[in-house]
Chain A
Amino acid sequence: MRLDIKSTNPTSTPSIPSSPNDSISNALDKPRRGKRIATWMLFIVILVVCSLYIDVTPYQLFVGLPEMGVLLKEMFPPDWSYLPTIWAPTLQTIKIAVAGTILGAIPAIPAALFSANNITPFKSVSLPIRTLLNLVRTVPDLLFAAVFVAVFGIGPFAGMLALLFFSFGIIAKLTYETVEAIDPGPLEAMTAVGATRIQLIVFGVIPQALPAFISYLLYTFEINIRAATVLGFVGAGGIGLLLNQSLGLFRYDRAATIIILTLAVVLIIDNASTRIRRKLL
């Protein structure tokens, strides 16, 4: 049985053969099919060139896979006696994430208000702030952490600062988009009765934007808690430092304990945060 369906048309049901339309659509399809094949060929060539360039070939995978198996075998059973030792660094990881998120959210509020076009009608103010936010968001948090470790020394403070910058960028962006989308009705009514700009923000903007803002705060916290678990790799505090040490000493059973605890913490916080966010919106 031959199935006669044009894969380019997403919603096509099996077409009725022998209709005059069939030959027309075939003729129309021909150049498109050529273009499609050319696109795929280009794609494959790019992939092959890429894999040759950095010397990544399936052969290496076959060599590396048994090593992976050995590693996983050494991880089990995990060393549960290590759990009391890693409890304090895990709490520190959570603290880094909480402090970084909240401290980043505070400057994000004025930044969001100044870059929202309906609150700040001056392009000369909003444009530079938006550009700054875009720049901050292009730098991954771990790079921030690596730089701050060099400035402030090894420790959780550098990690907290890195998360602060990251949270600032993401919360401010999401919030100003929300502020721009709020209902203009109350704002107009308040302007009509002569409210000042501060009153406008406190009684018109904040009540409308607050649930979304808290939801973004929690969302960023979820991202930050994941980021905080690996900040230790560059020396910025948290559980990552111990994980790096255990791996360096080939104590894979301890590494497994750390990874399992981290996963549990992340899963619990994710679940709680998602539930609160669903309630908010």
Chain B
Amino acid sequence: MSRVHHLRKWMIALFILVIFIWSMLGLDYQGFQSTSKVVSLSILKGFMHPDWAYVYLPEGEDLLRELLETLVISILGTFVSAILCIPFAFWAAANMSRLRVFPGVGKFTLSVIRVFPEMIVAILFIKAVGPGSFAGVLALGVHSIGMLAKLFSETIEGVDPGPQEALIACGANKLQIIRFAVIPQVIPQILSYTLYRFEINIRSATTLGLVGAGGIGTPLIFALQVRNWNRVGVILLGIVLLVVITDFISSRLRRKII
């Protein structure tokens, strides 16, 4: 018995090793250029001496304003998705309809939305509405529906059925049940999930600019292209600070809500 178990363990380990070697062989290592050492050194030097002048420029297009734009994109994107996902959440919640199929279809729709990487959504929106922060807001708004609506629907499935039954007993209609029995129970949890998603969105918003959807990513990719490492250093520093600060505030708020 234990020998069979042992054999299986070794087979799994061997399988992982084979997959790993297969994946390593496929990647070409032309990347190891002779210049990469020089470049790495100059990057380190750039990070040691960030371009402090870029933090605030009177004529605009500076670090602070770009970071503020990134923050605003993620706030609006989170808000859009929090509104849009409410119908999806009720659609996918199993205790909100008598049919078994209806929530199942809703859950499948949400998992399809979830597997769409937000960069692809962003590029599609850029093609539709043009480059800029608006595409970024829409991309975050649509992409976040997948995860938020799933979490919301699970919260709705976990509500105490007592108040609902009481309302049905005194003749309330479907909307009244949702308004007075379901929503009061789920609001704190939903707010907490929205804040959590906001923390994820602020990370995404910093990368949206790499493809032209607004925010700090755009100046970063320009600085990388012209190899202005001092500026890259200060931008990365700004991003790390922004993420750390928003994470801190948001987790404080979440702890207060629940």
Are A and B co-members of a single complex? yes
State the A residues within 8 Å of B (CB). Answer: 1, 3, 5, 7-14, 46-47, 50-51, 53-56, 60-61, 63-64, 67-68, 71, 91-92, 94-96, 98-99, 102, 134-135, 138-140, 142-143, 146-147, 149-153, 155-158, 160, 226-227, 229-230, 233-234, 237, 240, 243-244, 247, 259, 262-263, 266-267, 270
Extra 5 A-B pairs, beta carbons < 8 Å, given A13-B166, A54-B76: A96-B27, A142-B210, A146-B221, A155-B30, A230-B120
Contact B75 A156 (CB under 8 A): no
CB nearest neighbor in B for A226? B117
Q: In the complex, what residues of A have CB within 8 A of residue B2's CB? A: none
Some 7 contacts from A to B, beta carbons below 8 A apart, are: A11-B163, A14-B163, A47-B76, A60-B129, A71-B127, A151-B36, A152-B32
Q: In the complex, what residues of A have CB within 8 A of residue B239's CB? A: 138-139, 143
CA of A13 to CA of B27 in the docked complex: distance in angstroms? 62
Q: Which of B69, B115, B123, B134 contacts A64 (CB 8 A)?
A: B134
Contact B162 A13 (CB under 8 A): yes
CA of A240 to CA of B207 in the docked complex: distance in angstroms? 15
Contact B188 A10 (CB under 8 A): yes
Contact A263 B116 (CB under 8 A): yes
Q: Is B61 an interface residue (CB 8 A)?
A: no
Q: In the complex, what residues of A have CB within 8 A of residue B188's CB? A: 10
Q: In the complex, what residues of B have CB within 8 A of residue A160's CB? A: 27
Q: In the complex, what residues of B have CB within 8 A of residue A98's CB? A: 19-20, 22-23
CA of A94 to CA of B203 in the docked complex: distance in angstroms? 23
Chain B interface category by residue count: 35 or more
Q: In the complex, what residues of A have CB within 8 A of residue B232's CB? A: 147, 150
A5 → chain B, closest Cβ, in Å?
Answer: 5
Q: In the complex, what residues of B have CB within 8 A of residue A12's CB? A: 163, 184
Q: In the complex, what residues of B have CB within 8 A of residue A153's CB? A: 30-31, 33, 36
Contact A54 B72 (CB under 8 A): yes
CA of A98 to CA of B203 in the docked complex: distance in angstroms? 23
CB nearest neighbor in B for A142? B207
CA of A171 to CA of B101 in the docked complex: distance in angstroms? 37
CA of A80 to CA of B193 in the docked complex: distance in angstroms? 40
A-contacting residues, B179-214, CB 8 Å: 180, 183-185, 187-188, 203-204, 206-207, 210-211, 214
CA of A147 to CA of B127 in the docked complex: distance in angstroms? 25
A interface, over-half SS: helix
Contact B206 A54 (CB under 8 A): no
Q: In the complex, what residues of A have CB within 8 A of residue B40's CB? A: 151
Contact A46 B75 (CB under 8 A): yes
A-contacting residues, B3-31, CB 8 Å: 16, 19-20, 22-24, 26-31
CB nearest neighbor in A for B205? A140
CB nearest neighbor in B for A229? B117
Contact A234 B210 (CB under 8 A): yes
Given contacts A5-B184, A10-B188, A244-B123, contact A47 B207 (CB under 8 A): no
Q: Is B244 an interface residue (CB 8 A)?
A: yes
Q: In the complex, what residues of B have CB within 8 A of residue A266's CB? A: 115
CA of A150 to CA of B42 in the docked complex: distance in angstroms? 12
Q: In the complex, what residues of B have CB within 8 A of residue A151's CB? A: 36, 39-40, 43
Contact B240 A135 (CB under 8 A): yes
Q: In the complex, what residues of B have CB within 8 A of residue A157's CB? A: 27-32
Q: In the complex, what residues of B have CB within 8 A of residue A51's CB? A: 76
Q: Which of A50, A63, A142, A143 contacts B236 (CB 8 A)?
A: A143
Given contacts A5-B184, A140-B203, A146-B210, contact A230 B117 (CB under 8 A): yes
Q: Is B227 an interface residue (CB 8 A)?
A: yes
